[in-house]
Structure 1
Amino acid sequence: MYMRKWCFIQGVLLLLTILLASPASAAGTELMSVFSLRITVVEQGTEYEWEYDSPNKYEYEQGERVIKGDLAKDKMEHILEVLQFDENENVSSFVERLKQSDYPNLERVDIRYMDSDSRLHTWVWNKDR
């Protein structure tokens, strides 16, 4: 009887783990192949910056406020979901997604991504240009 309950509990836990796996955790896993990522957004004079350095260093800045660690990782995963980040995407698509989400008055975007082969990819957009 005890063994049957134990197996049932293990099955439920496994099912919950599978069901609760979210795009955020997928975004975090995808970062494992990234060497460095910097995303800077300016909206209404406030600068927001997300930083990731391999293997596990996260930083988020909003104006003068700096956050590191797990909360910064959550912020990075969120912005990657918003951007639907893909190195083959164009900057106009990133800008449109940002405007439709949390940054409708976007002024500037600067994304710098260094892949595991040390190739630098950049996307830059300015409202006035």
Structure 2
Amino acid sequence: MSKQERRRRQAYEDAVEYLCVEFASLDEHLGGPDWARAVESVTSGEPHTESWYAAVRLLHEAVEEAGIPGGLGLTTPMGAQEWPVIGRRVTGWVCPDHSCSRVQRFEGGGEQPPAPECALLGRAMRFVTD
């Protein structure tokens, strides 16, 4: 995979991560049948295919058109400098179908709490350990 493709892939994963994290407020602001169909095409599509990229791009454009600066972040940074830097090794939960790069870390020992739910997919996130 080329460096350009890796960057594209990461940008779209970050956009879907933002969608997942902010889904409730975006859905409240943009909800409707067209929005629901666009979200469905992202959540049910195979990640990293051209149709999936196109669906994410449509959501990004809809968010921009609704007056939210930067949309889902495909054309402007979404404050990535503020996000925690997470290496390849992690203990915690990840997106259940790898649509986004969302990671919720598991800190400390003790009993593992129940898996958080992916707000976008409505399914439990997958637990991974380094």
> Relative contact order: is structure 1 or structure 2 higher (C-alpha 8 Å, sep ≥ 6)?
2
Q: Do Structure 1 and Structure 2 share a fold, with TM-score over 0.5?
A: no
What band does the TM-score fall into relative to the shorter chain?
Answer: under 0.3
| Higher Rg | 1
TM-score (norm 2): 0.26
TM-score (norm 1): 0.26
Normalized per residue, the structure richer in strand is 1
